[in-house]
A and B are shown apart, each in its own frame.
Chain A
């Protein structure tokens, strides 16, 4: 009894010690973001004071006002980013699921070769496609419009792959039963598979949302007019103009990160499971 107690105490001490070490490590990794938020509330003279003011002694809101309200302000960039992200948030999972059903549940000639082609396309780095897409979009008259980001974004190999994996795990008996009741593939897809696959659709939608929200390269190459800028591009533009007003820069960076943080803390459970499962099963 006595030795067991001692062992338990020792384990608890070790666990507490580990917790403190890990908490400190996580704070170290989070520190750039903490510094960003705290600096966004500082006056210029307090930005680089040392020791670092993690909580500003003399906090001000003016940086945030300036970032949002100036001529080509963040309000516009946000509107653009939200528009594109929301269209893709609905469209991309739906289109991917539609194809995933065909690839997993309907046997037809050439299906597996087409899927293999998809997997090959997944290996091609986006840099290979930038030049031809730039020229093609110019021909298609969608260069320097939001369509240049939306249309290609609707079609993802990753989404088809991820949702197909999930569809394969749905037992065949379920669709057999529906077939006997006279349902066709379309009804089975819309009334059975889509509701069943809500978790995987949500997971893919969230991952895709963060990619779209952070997408800098496509916006950099395909958008020209400032009034079309998305948040990452707007931020870059803002950095160039802010120069050495680091407190303003950090207010802009905070504005860029906050929606992702909100998404993260609201959907934490799904996001973490989603990222984990997409790797383990994918």
Chain B
């Protein structure tokens, strides 16, 4: 029995050591830093200042902007979940070439990254870009400036994120739909239910656990999103696309205010925790297991 225990530790040891060094210790370190005023390379040791960083933060203009923008980037989540759901329903026995279409829808998600962010940047180019050229050709003489203007940059981000999420949601729904028994659906069809009724009253409730999963992971992913936005805008123009993660990044690596940046990033963690808890409580109203 004792030997058994030892072997158990041997198996988890490599991973546990790595986790401790690269996650647990940094997490604790950062937890300590958020109560200090430490500035990297200032030569001063960290000084304990209690909750002062948080007092400073709520008065920071950038905090208000980034909270607003972080709430905005939640919008693409339900939209791309809805679209993903509709596409999955269609691809589940209602079309030909299902496998090919599935791959087509999923490929953009799979390959999305910095490269695709730059493609969007050029597509949204305000003077001659293809999107505005199209808008002009259908009679909109002054199309939005997208990433070039603080008023519209966030819309371009939201469009990019919505398009990026559809493929993943579709794949997950499709897997869930294929595990449903077709009996209930057939019975409802026999009773003369329309397609709309079928969707709303039967299919959607049956896949509600999947919807719940996608909402939680989607919201968390959106709050954490950094790369695609930062690569295009660096949080600008002005601070118009500064979301929470960019706010934390700027404080840490543009200004080296490590204590303050830690406070910002833990606030982000709190927001994620709150949203997850709210959804967890709210799920009872609409998720049927």
Q: Across the interface, do B272 and A125 meet the contact criterion of CB distance under 8 Å?
A: yes
Closest to B108 in A: A29
Contact with A along B230-255 (1 / 0, CB 8 A): 11000000000000110011001100
Give every chain B residue within 8 A of A26 (Cβ-Cβ). Answer: 101, 104-105
Give every chain B residue within 8 A of A35 (Cβ-Cβ). Answer: 119, 123, 130
Q: Across the interface, do A132 and B113 meet the contact criterion of CB distance under 8 Å?
A: no
Q: Across the interface, do B175 and A125 meet the contact criterion of CB distance under 8 Å?
A: no
Q: Across the interface, do B172 and A275 meet the contact criterion of CB distance under 8 Å?
A: yes
CA of A32 to CA of B10 in the docked complex: distance in angstroms? 49
Q: Across the interface, do B27 and A129 meet the contact criterion of CB distance under 8 Å?
A: yes
Instruction: Give the residues from 53 to 101 in chain A that come closer than 8 angstroms, CB to CB, to chain B.
Output: 95-96, 98-99, 101
CA of A132 to CA of B107 in the docked complex: distance in angstroms? 35
Q: From the candidates A132, A250, A253, name the one contacting B29 in the complex (CB within 8 A).
A: A132
Closest to B264 in A: A127
Q: Across the interface, do B172 and A19 meet the contact criterion of CB distance under 8 Å?
A: no
Q: From the candidates B96, B103, B276, name the one contacting A16 in the complex (CB within 8 A).
A: B96
CA of A136 to CA of B107 in the docked complex: distance in angstroms? 37
Q: Across the interface, do A249 and B261 meet the contact criterion of CB distance under 8 Å?
A: no
Instruction: Give the residues from 246 to 270 in chain A that come closer than 8 angstroms, CB to CB, to chain B.
Output: 246, 249-250, 252-254, 256-257, 260-261, 264-265, 268
Q: Across the interface, do B268 and A128 meet the contact criterion of CB distance under 8 Å?
A: yes
CA of A128 to CA of B18 in the docked complex: distance in angstroms? 17
B154 is an interface residue with CB less than 8 A from chain A: no
Given contacts A35-B130, A131-B252, A275-B171, contact A19 B122 (CB under 8 A): no
A177 CB to closest chain B CB, in angstroms? 18
Given contacts A30-B104, A236-B114, contact A99 B11 (CB under 8 A): yes
- Main SS class of interface, B: helix
Given contacts A127-B249, A132-B26, A275-B171, contact A108 B113 (CB under 8 A): no
The interface size bin for chain A is 35 or more
Q: From the candidates B24, B129, B171, name the one contacting A272 in the complex (CB within 8 A).
A: B171
Given contacts A102-B11, A102-B12, contact A130 B25 (CB under 8 A): no
Q: From the candidates A18, A114, A186, A261, name the one contacting B107 in the complex (CB within 8 A).
A: A261
Instruction: Give the residues from 96 to 114 in chain A that come closer than 8 angstroms, CB to CB, to chain B.
Output: 96, 98-99, 101-103, 106-109, 111, 114
Q: Across the interface, do B108 and A32 meet the contact criterion of CB distance under 8 Å?
A: yes
Most A Cβ at <10 Å: residue of B210, B230, B261, B265: B265
Give every chain B residue within 8 A of A1 (Cβ-Cβ). Answer: none
Q: Across the interface, do A276 and B172 meet the contact criterion of CB distance under 8 Å?
A: yes
Q: Across the interface, do A155 and B30 meet the contact criterion of CB distance under 8 Å?
A: no
Give every chain A residue within 8 A of B33 (Cβ-Cβ). Answer: 131-132
Q: Across the interface, do B4 and A106 meet the contact criterion of CB distance under 8 Å?
A: yes
Q: Across the interface, do A131 and B265 meet the contact criterion of CB distance under 8 Å?
A: yes
CA of A135 to CA of B226 in the docked complex: distance in angstroms? 21
* Complex interface: stretch among B57-65, B86-94, B281-289: B86-94
A197 is an interface residue with CB less than 8 A from chain B: no
Given contacts A129-B30, A185-B7, A250-B122, contact A99 B12 (CB under 8 A): yes
CA of A123 to CA of B272 in the docked complex: distance in angstroms? 8
Given contacts A101-B11, A121-B24, A276-B171, contact A257 B115 (CB under 8 A): yes
Q: Across the interface, do A136 and B25 meet the contact criterion of CB distance under 8 Å?
A: yes
| Inter-chain pairs besides A98-B12, A98-B15, 6 sampled, C-beta below 8 Å | A99-B16, A106-B4, A106-B8, A125-B269, A236-B114, A239-B231
Q: List 7 A-B contacts (CB under 8 A).
A: A23-B97, A118-B19, A127-B265, A129-B23, A131-B262, A189-B11, A250-B119
